[in-house]
Amino acid sequence: MKFLSSSMLVAVLGLVAANLGFQTAVAQSTPVTGLHTRMKWQDFVSGPDGAKRLASFKKAVAKMRSLDNSPTDSADFRRSWKYWANIHGYLGPTSSFGTVAERSQQLTNDGLSQYLPYLVGTAGMPGIVDQTPPDAIAKTIWATCQHSPPGMEVNFFGWHRMFLYYLERVMRWAANDPTLTLPYWDYTNPAETALPAEFRDTTSPLYDWRRSTAVNQGQLALNPNITDIDGPLTTDTSFLQYEKDIESTVHGNVHCAMVKTCPVALMGLVGVAANDPIFYMHHTNIDRMWSCWQYLHPSEQPGTWENQSFTFVDETGAEVTRPVKDFLDTTVLGYVYDNDSACTRVPAVAAVEVQIQPPASVEQAFPNVLFSSMPVPLNSNVTSVEVTISATAQLKNTELVLRDVSSLFAPGALVDVYVAKNDESTPRAYVATINWFGVFDHAHSMDRMERGGPVARTFEYNVTRQLQALGFPDAKELTILFEASSGLVPTSKNPVAPNELRRALEATLRPDANLTIGAIELRQ
Ligand SMILES: [Cu+2]
């Protein structure tokens, strides 16, 4: 640790201390007066008040759904479930997410036509219909969700925190319960990766039939790998990098894994995702991940992004416009999370260097190229690339860069990235999962494709911990593995016919998508 400056040391010790608290972290039983505690789902529904909290939450969802067909100029319409889903995204001729017909055509083109009913409906099951904002307020606020299309940086955390804050106020109104506070689905805990039972109850307003059937039946759960935030939380050196990593990894992974693949409605298609109640439990957990970062970086100064303003409606249906900077401190907003201080699974590796001043680019931060490849096509379900690193390389902060990952359309599965030793003597180390949430269904990407350019994204993963686990620097012959993945694993509960499960777990990359990594680099 001798290369660490004292401020770096403080940061590292903070991480270790935070991690020691993981086992003992409990929901705050005595919140500061006036502050509501956003609880993990399993605590929200248990204890003496659990049944009351759950009833209130379901009542709010049911009441909001009952307002969907209110007169479009009424406050009730602005408090409806449909309206709030539309604030995030909607389909229609004026939407940046295109029309139902356009998204249907895309599903067909992507070879996913069996999921068309999830979008357009089927016997007795209404689908999504094109909508047009009825007034100036709706024109201003519908489809304003901030997600980063390739090459753009947006207020992903900020916009969604504001969205949830105003939704929570509407839900309190709808449940007639001023204590109702949004819970979160903590799938970062490997024990909580199955969809909570209350969302699988077909008679509940929290149920939606358009999720992966095996997930909705409790037979498959999220693969704990795809919900692990230890890497971004302990090695990212700036807020913007962390925000981008959370958005592009765990956030998108969960969206896509809730359905067969992206861009299948609801959760896999940005323009309609917020119609599913699980969307809000997912995003409350994402909001908590922002609080986890804030806890570990209390003195970090926000950037110019905090000055951007967004418009919503409140529980009276009135328009409100406020800057993101009003939403940085959740205690000012009246809530805290039951856990924002111990958010990782395993203690941070003390040898990871914490950089206080984030460098401008990966080239600047990691100037030494240990390995660089030619373009790598991922046209089968497993692709491996052998890597030989020069004998003099030492264990240091190491970045795996997947440059210009491009595809003609959604390739049909997630892609898990691993590093392994060539002799297979040590278990392979998981690095990250690539998902396609929002990549092919956002106006920015569609424009780009129409202009003839592929959508290309560059991923940077800190792989120091993984290389250390594989025995680097002694092991210098490595393999980088890419595997098609559904993002799901079987649960021990409710075993079903193996064939049925196997089909749900199946993940196939379509060769005609031309999924290609422009270059694979290892940098220090
Ligand atoms: Cu999202």
CATH number at residue 96: 1.10.1280.10
In the reported structure, the alpha carbon of residue 235 is separated from the centroid of ligand 1 by a whole-number distance in angstroms of: 23
Asked if the structure places residue 1 within a domain, the reply is no
Of 355, 385, 408, the position where a domain reaches its end is 355
* Helical packing angle, 278-296 and 239-246, nearest 10°: 160
Residues 350 and 428 in one domain: no
Q: How far is the CA of 283 from the centre of ligand 1 (A)?
A: 6
| 180 & 145 share domain | yes
- For residues 326 and 371, membership in a common domain is answered with no
Phi and psi at residue 407, to the nearest 5°: -155, 145
Give the closest residue to 392 by CA, choosing from 480, 473, 479, 469.
473
Rounded alpha-carbon distances, angstroms, from residue 89 to 45, 58, 96, 133: 29, 23, 8, 11
Query: What is the pLDDT, as a whole number, of residue 522?
Result: 96
Let me know how many helices (H) and strands (E) the chain has, helices first: 19, 17
> 3-class SS at 455?
strand
Alpha helices in 50-209 (DSSP H): 50-66, 75-78, 81-88, 100-109, 116-120, 136-141, 156-175
Please tell me what DSSP assigns to residue 110.
T
Q: How far is the CA of 256 from the centre of ligand 1 (A)?
A: 10
The helix-helix angle for 156-175 and 239-246 (nearest 10°) equals 60
Ligand 1 centre to CA of 390 (Å) is 41
Question: For position 446, what pLDDT does the model report?
Answer: 58
Q: What is the mean pLDDT of each run of 10 residues along the chain (524 residues)?
A: 34 38 40 82 97 98 98 97 98 94 93 95 93 97 83 84 98 98 98 97 97 93 96 90 94 96 95 98 98 94 93 98 98 97 76 53 88 95 93 89 93 96 86 92 60 76 93 90 96 71 88 95 96
Q: Is residue 161 part of a domain?
A: yes
In a domain, 2, yes or no: no
Q: Residue 138 corresponds to which amino acid?
A: A
Full residue range of the structural domain in which residue 102 is found = 9-355
Tell me the CA–centroid distance for residue 228 and ligand 1, in Å: 17
Query: What global pTM score does this model have?
Result: 0.90
pLDDT of res. 7: 37
Measure the CA–CA gap between 248 and 434, rounded to whole angstroms: 8
Look at residue 504 in the predicted model and tell me its pLDDT: 84
Structure confidence at residue 363 (pLDDT)? 85
SS (H, E, C) 406-425: EECCCCCCEEEEEEEECCCC
Is residue 367 located within the same domain as residue 348? no
* Kind plus residue range of the DSSP H or E element containing 286: helix 278-296
Cα–ligand 1 centroid distance for 255 (angstroms) = 7
Do 67 and 203 belong together in one domain?
yes
- For residue 337, the CA-to-ligand 1 centroid distance in Å is 19
| Total structural domains within the chain | 2
Residue 359's pLDDT is: 67
pLDDT value of position 500: 76
Residues 334 and 382 in one domain: no
Using the mean position of ligand 1's atoms as its centre, give its distance from the Cα of residue 296 in Å.
Answer: 23
Q: How far is the CA of 81 from the centre of ligand 1 (A)?
A: 17
Which tokens is 335 given? 């809530």
Q: Give the Å distance between the CA of 251 and the centre of ligand 1.
A: 6
The CATH number of whichever domain residue 510 belongs to comes to 2.60.120
* Separation of CA 149 and ligand 1 centre (Å): 13
How many Å lie between the centroid of ligand 1 and the Cα of residue 265? 13
Which of 312, 338, 355 is where one domain is finished? 355
pLDDT score recorded for residue 12? 37
Interval between CA 396 and ligand 1 midpoint (Å): 34
Q: Is residue 372 domain-shared with residue 441, that is, in the same domain?
A: yes
- Residues 351 and 367 grouped into a single domain: no
Same domain, 179 and 282: yes
Q: Is residue 251 part of a domain?
A: yes
Q: Region of 4 please: left (phi>0), alpha (psi -120 to 50) or beta.
A: beta
| 3 domain residue, yes or no | no
* 184 alpha carbon – ligand 1 mean position (Å): 14
Residue 105 lies in a domain: yes
Verify that 443 and 303 share a domain, yes or no: no
pLDDT of residue 10: 36
Residue 29 lies in a domain: yes
Do 422 and 444 lie in one domain? The reply is yes
Residue 283's SS3 state is helix
Judged by DSSP in three states, 60 sits in: helix
What separation in Å is there between the alpha carbon of 367 and the centre of ligand 1? 34
Inter-axis angle of helices 50-66 and 81-88, to 10 degrees?
80
Nearest to 237 by CA among 4, 11, 522: 11
What's the CA-to-centroid distance between 317 and ligand 1, angstroms? 24
In a domain, 381, yes or no: yes
Same domain, 26 and 97: yes
Last residue of a domain, one of 355, 388, 419: 355
Query: How far, in Å, from the CA of 250 to the mean position of ligand 1?
Result: 10
Query: 266: CA distance to ligand 1 center in Å?
Result: 11
Q: How many angstroms is it from 252 CA to the middle of ligand 1?
A: 7
